[in-house]
Amino acid sequence: MDSLHLYPEIAATELIARLAARLAVNPEEIALGSGSAEVVTQLIAAAAGEGDEVIFAWRSFEAYPRLVQIAGATPVPIALTSEGRHDLPAMAAAVTDRTKLILVCSPNNPTGTCVMKDELDSFLQTVPREVLVVIDEAYVHFNNGEGTADGLDFFRRYENVAVLHTFSKAYGLAGLRVGYAIAPEQITANLRRVALPFGVTALAQKAALVSLDAEAELRERVDYVISERSRVADALRDGGWSTFDSFGNFIWLRTGERTAFVHQQLWERGVLARAFIGEGIRVTVGNSEMNDVFLTAMRTLSSLREYDTTE
Ligand X SMILES: *Cc1c(COP(=O)(O)O)cnc(C)c1O
* Minimal distance, residue 284 CB to ligand X, in Å: 11
Cα separation, 24 vs 15, in Å, equals 14
Q: Single out the residue of 35, 75, 151, 280 in contact with ligand X (rule: CB under 6 A).
A: 35
Asked if 174 interacts with ligand X (CB under 6 A), we say yes
* Minimal distance, residue 35 CB to ligand X, in Å: 3
Cα separation, 89 vs 93, in Å, equals 6
Q: Which of the ranges 34-42, 83-91, 218-226, 254-262 carries the binding residues for ligand X, by CB under 6 A? A: 34-42
User: Which of 280, 239, 237 has the alpha carbon at shortest distance from 258?
Assistant: 280
Asked if 181 interacts with ligand X (CB under 6 A), we say no
* Minimal distance, residue 248 CB to ligand X, in Å: 8
- Say if residue 201 is exposed, middle or buried (CB neighbours under 10 Å; 0-12, 13-18, 19+): middle
Q: Single out the residue of 29, 36, 44, 229 in contact with ligand X (rule: CB under 6 A).
A: 36
Q: Tell me whether residue 88 or residue 178 sits nearer to ligand X (CB atom).
A: 178
55-84: contacts with ligand X (CB under 6 A): 61
Asked if 111 interacts with ligand X (CB under 6 A), we say no
Asked if 37 interacts with ligand X (CB under 6 A), we say yes
Q: Which of the ranges 33-41, 118-126, 194-202, 256-264 carries the binding residues for ligand X, by CB under 6 A? A: 33-41
Q: Single out the residue of 43, 47, 105, 226 in contact with ligand X (rule: CB under 6 A).
A: 105
User: Which of 279, 271, 269, 254 has the alpha carbon at shortest distance from 303?
Assistant: 269
261-290: contacts with ligand X (CB under 6 A): none
Q: Single out the residue of 8, 179, 199, 280 in contact with ligand X (rule: CB under 6 A).
A: 179
Q: Which of the ranges 30-38, 47-55, 221-229, 232-240 carries the binding residues for ligand X, by CB under 6 A? A: 30-38
* Minimal distance, residue 32 CB to ligand X, in Å: 11
101 within 8 A of 43, measured Cβ to Cβ = yes
121-160: contacts with ligand X (CB under 6 A): 136, 138
User: Which of 128, 77, 135 has the alpha carbon at shortest distance from 108?
Assistant: 135
Q: Which of the ranges 31-39, 85-93, 190-198, 222-230 carries the binding residues for ligand X, by CB under 6 A? A: 31-39
Secondary structure (H, E, C), 24-92: CCCHHHEEEECCHHHHHHHHHHHHCCCCCEEEEEECCCCHHHHHHHHCCCEEEEEECCCCCCCCHHHHH
103 within 8 A of 60, measured Cβ to Cβ = yes
Q: Tell me whether residue 151 or residue 179 sits nearer to ligand X (CB atom).
A: 179
- Residue 130 C-alpha from the chain's centroid: 24
Asked if 246 interacts with ligand X (CB under 6 A), we say no
Nearest residue to ligand X on Cβ basis: 35
Q: Which residues of 96-122 are buried (b: 16+ CB within 10 A; e: fewer)?
A: eeebbbbbbbbbbbbbbbbbbeebbee
Q: What residues contact 11, with CB distance under 8 A and at least 6 apart?
A: none
Q: What residues contact 112, with CB distance under 8 A and at least 6 apart?
A: 84, 244, 245, 246, 247, 248, 250, 251, 252
* Minimal distance, residue 239 CB to ligand X, in Å: 27
Binding site residues, ligand X, CB under 6 A: 35-37, 61, 105, 109, 136, 138, 166, 168, 174, 179
